[in-house]
């Protein structure tokens, strides 16, 4: 029996609504796609979680792949139905990154940081490494409201270092850093609880921006911003964050650029 199956999660969950509708699938294409396409007809409630042990078509940002060996990771998607103006969509990125960081710190004692816009990173052997990615997908209605939003999270929990795929940014897993394995069930239930607390606060109108911003390693760094075709858009100094989570970059001519997360990625130098 899998440690993340329906009854195991139900018995450990301490939330009111996040994860109360929970679906475990041993293997699936992508949990984001499953929630969006396969479950849509059933009109699942807010807080629905779809979790799998293996994805054959796991997706990352900018059409990249997200790969993880079976049974080693947390791979799941959470459905939200925010009645917020569409411009608040980035709040969900902030809530998700913060919830991941806070729950891992609580469960492991590690110090977790964020790389703009939504990579979760850790210093390991003196160098920043990515061990978790977040894929936020949403639909906006014709009157600029959010119809729904899906937060897809992939955390390298117990992947041995030699099984991690090569990436442009160094990758690692929690087990590598800690030198012992981590309970995926405990981490998941703590994470879903943090997600609920942070979402409820945002729903009452409290911006998650300040809490999120404190964890960003990006501010004060020299950065290069690339589109998905690997075209450089701008390079300069990351000075700060705008109201909606945009990265504010000052180029060498002194001009400030507001970078939106949607279609760009970032390289920090030095990493
Ligand atoms: C990134 O860093 O580019 C984002 C990675 C997001 C991966 C997760 S795993 C669960 C969910 N389902 C997917 O297909 N992707 C997200």
Residue 11 φ/ψ, nearest 5 degrees? -70, -25
Rounded-to-integer distance, Cα 75 and Cα 152, Å: 8
- Give alpha helix (H) positions in 74-129: 89-108
DSSP symbol at 207? -
Query: Is residue 1 scored above 60 in pLDDT?
Result: yes
Q: What is the pLDDT of residues 56-113, one digit of tens each?
A: 999 998 888 999 999 999 999 999 999 888 888 889 999 999 999 999 999 999 999 9
For residues 271 and 181, the model is more confident at: 181
State whether the beta carbon of 99 lies less than 6 angstroms from ligand 1. no
Q: How far is CA 234 from CA 45, 238, 250, in A?
A: 41, 11, 9
Q: What is the largest CA-CA distance in the chain?
A: 60
State whether the beta carbon of 117 lies less than 6 angstroms from ligand 1. no
Report pLDDT for 262. Answer: 63
State whether the beta carbon of 75 lies less than 6 angstroms from ligand 1. yes
Tell me the mean pLDDT in the region 227-250: 86
Q: What is the pLDDT of residues 168-226, one digit of tens each?
A: 789 999 999 999 999 999 999 999 999 999 999 999 999 999 999 999 998 888 888 88
Task: Report which ligand 1 atom has the smallest distance to the Cα of 153.
Answer: 8
Band of pLDDT at residue 271, cut at 50, 70 and 90: very low
Rounded-to-integer distance, Cα 225 and Cα 152, Å: 23
Task: Report which ligand 1 atom has the smallest distance to the Cα of 57.
Answer: 14
């Amino acid at each position: 029996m899998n440690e993340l199956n329906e009854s195991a999660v139900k018995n450990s969950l301490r939330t009111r609504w996040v994860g109360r509708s929970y679906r475990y699938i041993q293997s699936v294409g992508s949990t984001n796609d499953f929630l969006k396409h396969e479950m849509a007809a059933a009109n699942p409630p807010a807080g629905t979680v779809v979790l799998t042990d293996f994805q054959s078509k796991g997706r990352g940002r900018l059409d990249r792949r997200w790969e993880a060996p079976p049974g080693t990771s947390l791979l799941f998607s959470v459905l939200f139905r925010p009645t917020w103006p569409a411009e608040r969509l980035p709040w969900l990125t902030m809530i998700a990154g913060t919830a991941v960081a806070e729950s891992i710190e609580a469960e492991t004692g590690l110090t977790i940081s964020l790389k703009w816009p939504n990579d979760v990173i850790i210093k390991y052997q003196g160098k920043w490494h990515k061990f978790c990615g977040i894929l936020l997908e949403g639909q906006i209605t014709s009157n600029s409201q959010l119809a729904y939003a899906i937060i897809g999270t992939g955390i390298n929990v117990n992947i041995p270092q030699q099984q991690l795929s090569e990436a442009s940014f160094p990758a690692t897993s929690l087990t590598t850093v800690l030198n012992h394995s981590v309970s995926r069930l405990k981490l998941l239930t703590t994470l879903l609880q943090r997600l609920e607390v942070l979402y409820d606060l945002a729903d009452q109108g409290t911006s998650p921006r300040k809490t999120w911003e404190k964890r960003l390693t990006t501010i004060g760094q020299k950065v290069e911003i690339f589109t998905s075709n690997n075209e450089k858009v701008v390079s300069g100094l990351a000075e700060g964050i705008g109201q909606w989570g945009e990265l504010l970059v000052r180029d060498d001519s002194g001009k400030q650029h507001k970078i939106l997360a949607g279609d760009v990625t970032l390289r920090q130098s030095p990493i």
